[in-house]
Amino acid sequence: MPTTIAPRHFAVVPCAGVGARSGADGPKQYAPLAGATVVAHTLDALARVARLHQVLVVLSPQDAAFEDHCPDFRGWVARTGGATRAETVARGLDVLETRGARADDWVLVHDAARCLIRPEWIDTLIDACAGDPVGGLLALPLADTLKEEHAGRVAATLDRAGKWQAQTPQMFRLGVLRDALARAGADVTDEASAIEACGLAPKLVRGSLENFKLTFPADFALADRLLRTRE
């Protein structure tokens, strides 16, 4: 008799960037932070999500430092990263398929530099998207007034109504995401953009202000304080 196999949940962590804007000495994912490295904090949070079947970290082919910085990681590692985030994620999906992931399995793509992610926020995303035909992402509605800049001065004030700031994880079916990234090309900056380009509308799931991406030097100091406060 036919059986229905429940979809599994995989996490993909693109970790092939160089962090040029961070001011860190080397890739920002390996910057020291509250007693560990940025990516080690990220992977520790993912490891505590019981519904994740496996976590895959996608590194640059030249990366020889990951194991030194994350000695406790017990997930999968692939040194197949590309020149852009989209390429790195797409190659990560290829690796998942070679390791048995199916087209209808869920993939949660999470930034290595969002190291303040909490397991309960990921569970909230999984619960919200479990029965959704498209999938979705953590995000926050914009609270600040938006200004458009020209030559260092305000050119216009933009309407913030209905605008959200995208975060990660972003959760989509493996097959749908693979096809969307192939069609969208290497320039898309997040997975939801590729899904949108296919005419689909990802679900917005409210995240947390703490789930920010470490990009600039001041971000690291703030994240360090927040992590130490948690401890």
pLDDT value for 54: 98
In the chain, which residue ranges form alpha helices assigned H by DSSP? 38-47, 66-69, 85-98, 119-129, 174-184, 191-197, 217-230
pLDDT value for 186: 84
pLDDT value for 179: 97
Query: Which CATH number belongs to the domain containing residue 142 in this structure?
Result: 3.90.550.10
Where in the sequence is the domain holding 85, given as residue range(s)? 9-230
Query: What's the whole-number average pLDDT of the chain?
Result: 94
Q: Is 151 left (phi over 0), alpha (psi -120 to 50) or beta?
A: left
- Give me the percent of the chain exceeding a pLDDT of 70: 95
Residue 1 lies inside a defined structural domain of this protein: no
Q: Tell me the pLDDT band of 18, cut-offs 50, 70 and 90.
A: low
pLDDT value for 5: 85
Over residues 128-140, the pLDDT tens digits come to: 999 999 999 999 9
pLDDT value for 89: 98
Listed in order, strand segments (DSSP E) in 3-152 are: 9-15, 32-33, 36-37, 52-59, 76-78, 106-109, 135-141, 146-150
Rounded to 10°, the helix 38-47/119-129 angle is 50
Residue 4 lies inside a defined structural domain of this protein: no
Residue 121 lies inside a defined structural domain of this protein: yes
Residue 104 lies inside a defined structural domain of this protein: yes
Strand duo 9-15 + 106-109: pairing:
parallel
Residue 215 lies inside a defined structural domain of this protein: yes
**φ, ψ of residue 152 in degrees (nearest 5):** 80, 5
Over residues 76-107, the pLDDT tens digits come to: 999 999 999 999 999 999 999 999 999 999 99
Cα–Cα dist 68/37, whole Å: 10
pLDDT value for 224: 96
How many structural domains compose the chain?
1
Residue 3 lies inside a defined structural domain of this protein: no
Cα–Cα dist 212/210, whole Å: 6
Over residues 203-225, the pLDDT tens digits come to: 999 999 999 999 999 999 999 99
Q: What is the dihedral of CA 78, 79, 84, 85, to 10 degrees?
A: 30
**What's the predicted TM-score (pTM) here?**
0.93
